Amino acid sequence: MYYRLAGSGHEVKVSIASPRTADVYGGMIDVTHDWQAELGWIRDAGKDGFVVFESATMGGLQDDLRRDGFQVIGGSSYGDRLEADREFGQAVLRDAGLCTAKSHRFTDFKRAIEFVRSSSARFVLKSNGADSLRTRNYVGELEDGRDMIALLTLHAAQWRDNAAPDFVLMERVEGIEVGVGAYFNGEAFLQPACLDGEHKRFFAGDLGELTGEMGTIVTYEGSRRIFDGTLALIAGELRESGYCGYINLNLIINEEGLWPLEFTSRFGYPGFAICESLHRESWADIFRKLASKTDLALLTNDGFAAGVVLTVPPFPYTHGYDELSKGAPILFRSDMNDEDMQGLHLAEVAMIDAQLVTSGMLGYVGVATGIGSTVEAASANAYRLARKVIVPNLRYRNDIGQRVCQGGLERLASLGYIG
């Protein structure tokens, strides 16, 4: 996002908080080591000055900056709590009238083990905290909960942190997993909202660990009923908190209704990149709409967008990245053109001696996107682009979109949630 804003003529300065990712986009963007020292530059820009946050851990700072008159896009302290404190997020949704799965918070592994043993049921383990490791989350498989008990026992034996663990065990709900997201301008939502189908596991066939996201199908069509039954219901709370930015709610849909799972109170990865491929206006134009609060129409294309996450070892872990993949050259096939480059959203990369290489701490190379009138067409275009990217030991799932095609959309339609 920052790279493309700068490339289109905007003045952009980026602050990178983590020392381990200080080299991301090295040689490609203007980096500032003290973002607060740049606030005078932002204020001097007037209506053209924006401060953008991409995490759900600095909401209090955003609130303070807004009170000081700055145009801030990202979230709010309330949004941070919606994502980080899962019990709070579920309570907000219950108060709004939604049905929620039973969820139990624990700060002690022994008590959690005793709870699962006495319940003899399947649960989903999720850590609290917006920056918690998604790879430690787990979806229980055995009906009597023995696999969850075994995993919690392992976590208890391995726990070395001085702070107590903080996690929830949520009742497992079966159905179609869908996300609904929209941009909130501090007073109201821009329309339309988008629907997404995430693929969170590392391997094709939904095998392996939960990574956060390995690829996604997005559309701005047909979202109205799901949006009205979920995000629209908390507009008042977002308005009261001063929230301004993108917010997404992940949920399960079945014959019994809508079952919200968790909030993402920020720009999501790779969601923002995939959504961009369906936008008919730039990020700068969207920022201006959010700030002006006069235009609630988000200009989007019909159809679908697919995104495929491209990674190198040891993703989704950090251990050994320096030895295995950091500094690896990134090349493109000879038929790669400017249009293709617009569909490729590079992430942990840098430019060293005129050579694009991997950087950062994780091995998240980027996202190949494609659009089409059908999910199949969008997915095929994303994979066509992915095959043009050449990096040693590049990996990605080869089934993004299949689950959506093979019954997901049809079932949502049969339940009356989409046209």
Residue 263 confidence (pLDDT): 95
Span 277-299, average pLDDT: 96
For residue 194, pLDDT over 90 is answered with yes
Which residue matches tokens 């840098």? 350
Please report whether residue 94 resides in a domain. no
- Does residue 407 carry a pLDDT above 80? no
Residues 123 and 196 in one domain: no
Place of tokens 């920020």: 266
Percent of the chain surpassing pLDDT 90? 88
Residue 87 maps to a domain? no
Give the domain CATH number at 130: 3.30.1490.20
The residue type at 353: D
Domain of 339, CATH number, reads 3.30.470.20
Domain hosting 56: range is 2-81
The pTM is what?
A: 0.91
89 in a domain, yes or no? no
pLDDT at 132: 76
pLDDT of residue 377: 97
**In the structure encoding, which two tokens stand for residue 198, read together?**
């995430």
Claim to verify: residue 180 and residue 162 sit in the same structural domain: no
Residue 86 lies in a domain: no
With 90 as the cut, is the pLDDT of residue 74 above it? yes
* Total domain count, the chain: 3
Instruction: Count how many Cα atoms sit within 13 Å of the Cα of residue 225 in the half-sphere of its side chain.
Output: 11
The radius of gyration of the chain from alpha carbons, rounded to an integer in Å, stands at 21
At 195 the three-state DSSP class reads strand
Residue 184 has pLDDT above 80, yes or no: yes
Residue-wise pLDDT tens digits, 103-116: 899 999 999 999 99
Which of 135, 151, 171 is the last residue in one of the domains? Answer: 171
Together in a domain, 256 and 390:
yes
Q: Do 358 and 260 reside in the same domain of the chain?
A: yes
Residue 58 falls inside a structural domain: yes
Average pLDDT for the chain: 94
Asked if residue 93 belongs to a domain, the reply is no
Q: Do 27 and 125 fall into the same domain? A: no
Query: What is the band of 36 on the pLDDT scale with cuts at 50, 70, 90?
Result: very high
Check whether residue 199 and residue 340 sit in a common domain: yes
Asked if residue 314 and residue 374 are part of one domain, the reply reads: yes
Instruction: State both tokens at 68.
Output: 């000081």
Q: Which two tokens stand for residue 320?
A: 């050994």
Average pLDDT on 230-255 reads 96
Note whether 392 and 308 are same-domain residues. Answer: yes
pLDDT, residue 268, reads 87
Q: Are residues 189 and 77 in the same domain?
A: no
**One domain, residues 258 and 390:** yes
With respect to residue 52, please indicate whether it lies within any of the assigned structural domains. Answer: yes
In this structure, are residues 67 and 45 in contact, taking their beta carbons and an 8 Å threshold? no
Average pLDDT over residues 203-223: 94
Nearest-angstrom CA–CA distance, 75 and 54: 9
- Is 214 within the bounds of a domain? yes
* pLDDT tier, 134 (very low <50, low <70, confident <90, very high otherwise): confident
Average pLDDT over residues 206-215: 92
pLDDT tops 90 at residue 246: yes
Please say which residue of 146, 171, 196 terminates a domain: 171
Q: Do 149 and 211 fall within a single domain?
A: no
Q: What is the pLDDT of residue 419?
A: 75
Q: What are phi and psi of 175, to 5 degrees?
A: 155, -160
pLDDT of 339 reads 96
**Whether the predicted pLDDT of 60 surpasses 90:** yes
Q: Quick one: 254 and 403 in the same domain?
A: yes
Can you give the pLDDT at residue 408? 82
Three-state secondary-structure class, residue 226: helix
- Confidence bin at 16 (pLDDT 50/70/90): very high
Beta strands in 160-233, from DSSP E residues, in sequence order: 167-171, 176-184, 194-203, 207-219
Asked if 107 and 86 touch (Cβ cutoff 8 Å), the reply is no
310-367 pLDDT, tens per residue?
A: 999 999 999 999 999 999 999 999 999 999 999 999 999 999 999 999 999 999 999 9
pLDDT surpassing 90 at residue 130:
no
Instruction: Give me the DSSP letters along 230-291.
Output: TGGGGHHHHHHHT--EEEEEEEEEETTEEEEEEEE-S--TTHHHHHHTTBSS-HHHHHHHHH
